[in-house]
Structure formats: structure tokens, C-alpha cells
Amino acid sequence: MERATFYRSLSAPTALMAGMLSFSATGVALYLDRAIIDPNVFLWLWATVLAGVLGFNTWLIWKSASFRGESVLSPGLRMALMSFTPPLAAGGVLTLWFMSHPDILIMACLWNTFYGLALLATAHFAPRSLVVLGWCFLATGAGLPAFRLWIHDPITQNTIGLYAMGVSFGFYHFIYAVWVGSFASRPAD
């Protein structure tokens, strides 16, 4: 129970940062309008979001470990890294391939799917709320290819991919941060 409370105390601020950066990226993409037409702009915009969230989370982990007088690479962090690295690495490899064959809707599908799988890979030691978040991302990733069947205009498909990223990585993280942040001091999910 103590581990779940500690986990929530770090994941709520990270999720809030991820939500804010994702909403910002979606807004910038809509403002520029190039991110809908040029998948490479979309890719670099979201890579910036990823870097920002990873940097913020790394800082939180470092700050927490320093406060407790522990090593940053604790056994729990090593276990988490070993759990979620394979799905994220697979998503990264496919992203590199899509850089030469860019398709925003497919990238949004892959990123949601592999991120959901990464969160689900922590199910044995993470709080139940994180597992629910993983299922939300996985369901979104699994549902996005249906838009290819119904909508054949590439610009509209790109727009749907952009909105899917804003909703999933923005809204899901924001809701998660509010939900988990309100229960961070409680021992149970």
C-alpha cells in the first residue's frame, strides 16, 4: 500500500505535465496547421512533448530519491524500466520506420497502443489506476484504425490522428492526474 501511495505521489504531477504539454502540442499543431499536413512536423512536435515529460519525471524521481537518501535507480525503478521498456522500444522502432512513411493516424494508433501496453506491463506492481489508464490508451489505439475504413481523405485522417493524440495524451492524463492527485494520500486506489 505504501508503494502505491508513493507511486501516485509521483505519477499525478507527471500525468498533469503530460496532459498540459499534450494540450499545448495539439493547440500549436492546430494553430500552425502544418502539423496536419506535414507528418514530420507532427512527429517532432510530439517528440518534444515526450522529451519534456521524460525530463520532468526524471527530475521528480531524482528529487524524491534525494529527499529519501536513496539511489535514483532503486530496485522498484529498475523493475518498472524492465517492464515498460520493451513496448516503448517497439513503438520507437516503428516510429523510426514511419519517419520515412509518415502517417499521422497510424502514428497516433501506434503510440496509444504501445503506451497502453507499457502501462499494462506494470500491472503487477503499479496502482490499479495506472492499469485502468493503460487500458484506456490500448482501447484508443485499437479503435483508431477504424477511421481508415470510414474516412478516405488523408487530411481528415491526419486531423483525426491529431485530435486522438490531444484527447488521449492530454485529456486521459489530465483526468488521471486529477483522480490520482485527489487520492494521493490514501493507501488504496
For 1, other C-beta atoms within 10 Å of its C-beta total: 10
What does the pLDDT read at residue 4? 47
Non-local (6+) Cβ contacts of 106 within 8 A are 98, 145, 161
What does the pLDDT read at residue 2? 43
Which pLDDT tens digits describe the chain residue by residue (189 residues)? 444 444 555 688 999 999 999 999 999 888 887 666 778 888 889 999 999 999 999 899 889 888 888 887 888 788 888 998 999 999 989 888 877 777 889 999 999 999 999 999 999 888 899 999 999 999 999 999 998 888 888 888 888 999 999 999 999 999 999 988 776 555 544
What does the pLDDT read at residue 145? 92
What does the pLDDT read at residue 14? 92
Q: How far apart are alpha carbons 102 and 156 in whole angstroms? A: 15
**pTM recorded for the entire structure:** 0.84
Domain positions in the chain are: 2-182
What does the pLDDT read at residue 186? 54
What does the pLDDT read at residue 183? 63
What does the pLDDT read at residue 101? 72
Cα radius of gyration rounded to whole Å, the chain: 17
What does the pLDDT read at residue 5? 44
What does the pLDDT read at residue 6? 45
